[in-house]
Amino acid sequence: MVFSSLTFLLVFLTVTMILYYISPRKLKNVIILISGLLFYAWGEPIYVLAMIASTAIDYTAGRIIDKFDDKPTVRRVCLIVSLVMNLGLLGVFKYSGFLINSLNDWFGWSIPNPNLPLPIGISFFTFQSMSYTIDLYRRKIKVQKNAASFMAFVTLFPQIVAGPIVRYEDIQNEIDDRVITEDMVAGGISRLITGLGKKVLIADNIGLVWTEIKAMELGSLSAATAWLGILAFTFQIYFDFSGYSDMAIGLGKMMGFNFPENFNYPYMSKSISEFWRRWHMTLGEWFKSYVYFPLGGSRKGKARTVINLLIVWTITGIWHGAAWNFMLWGAYFGILIVLEKLFLGKWLEKIPAFFSWLYTFVLVVFGWVMFDVVSAQTYHFGDVFGQVFGYIGAMFGANGVFADSTALNYFVNYGIIFAIAAFGCTDALKIIVKKIRDKAPQWVQYGYPIAQMCVMTASVAFLTTSTYHPFLYTIF
């Protein structure tokens, strides 16, 4: 799916929003449904059928769960059908190829690999749809009897391929009865522009550094070059994903929805546990509600808490991708969070804030090495270890060179964008804007919409002149 097709995106968005605003209230969900299917079908014309099938099964299961409220067995069977279907879709499309190739490699078998293309955003829309049947089974929400309204919930095009993960509980009061105000539209446009600027002006520009350094021979990297490369990815993935989330939240507001926040300045965190309360917040809440708490959470003693945390983080790693590096990444953060839960967290609270922040940031950066340094999918866990620790070794001078002309060139050419990205990861700009709005003269406050228009103009200009516009999380 080529998200840099600006013409399609602008025409699609313009036509959809015009039709949405002029349509009577009863037809707005139909417009959402049709636009969502068209948006998804543009990138996945065949796999849109998988989404429709998933939605239809969950809707039917929900109706039966509600109708047979006094029959626990029937309700349980319907829930199981929903879970098996959604997890089955994930298993077949996302993990079957990896499993087959791994078995062939380990045991010398020759099981044919169907090499099924991965439906875009399948991990997002399956989790979203599952949350409905699980919450209905728990009697936390009311059944949605209108099929179009339920499908509209699943196919909301602003967040259909990369989140935030919107549970039915989040918007159950808005799906059939929402009010669109001028403030919501204005706030939505502002948020949309902010997200677009994050994605296009920062993530895409700094991402070029990582793309180039990642392609270099590992043995040729100086320590400075290796650090610049992984720091570039550290900023790229944040501004890419949070930018997309901002755009989704902004478009949602323009349509009368209040989507949950997905990021809260995670790189300001002073512990790994805090980082994961600030990063991809909707995924964290999903796992907490549907995996961690049902396992017992922290209510059954330290030993059980440790086991539950490790289970959740193993699944979190697997959710991100069918590859050993993602599983290593999930286990890495699971172990760190367990250590903080047992004793490290209390120590971090006692040391100066700068050092607790530095501890957190450096360990997060190491995590991003595990997440993305593997140059190609491999089925040898040892090879993954070799690539990950080879890169970390280069960061600490294992290649015998601490700085070279390559690092200097990147620093000179990209130093400004690194500085902008570092500043943008903090809440400093938010605080400055708030103070200006609260205390500055009226004429000064006009600078904010002017600045946003400049961001919008620059983003569109960059979209039309550059071909590097990856959306990192659409592959999940």
Which of 443 and 79 is assigned the larger pLDDT? 79
Rg of the chain, C-alpha, whole Å: 23
- Residue 320 bears catalytic tag: yes
Q: What is the DSSP string of 289-329?
A: IIIIHHHTTTSS-HHHHHHHHHHHHHHHHHHH-SSHHHHHH
Q: Indicate the average pLDDT of the chain.
A: 87
**Confidence band of 354 (pLDDT split at 50, 70, 90):** very high
The answer, yes or no, to whether residue 16 has pLDDT greater than 90, is: no
Over residues 96-124, the pLDDT tens digits come to: 888 888 888 778 888 888 777 777 778 88
- With tokens 């139909």, the residue in question is 30
Contact 271, 356 (CB under 8 A): yes
pLDDT in tens, 162-217: 668 888 888 888 888 888 888 899 999 999 999 999 999 999 999 999 999 999 99
Cis peptide before 164 (omega within 30 of 0): yes
Which residue among the candidates 280, 320, 380, 469 is catalytic per the annotation?
Answer: 320
Q: Which of 47, 48, 85, 78 is nearest to 64 (CA)?
A: 78
pLDDT band per the 50, 70, 90 thresholds, residue 298: confident
Nearest alpha carbon to residue 262 among 276, 240, 279: 279
Give the whole-angstrom CA distance, residue 178 versus residue 181: 10
pLDDT in tens, 51-79: 888 888 999 999 999 999 889 999 999 99
Name the pTM for this structure.
0.90
Q: Cβ distance 143 to 75 under 8 Å?
A: no
CA atoms within 13 A on the CB side of 3: 18
CB 86 within 8 A of CB 50: no
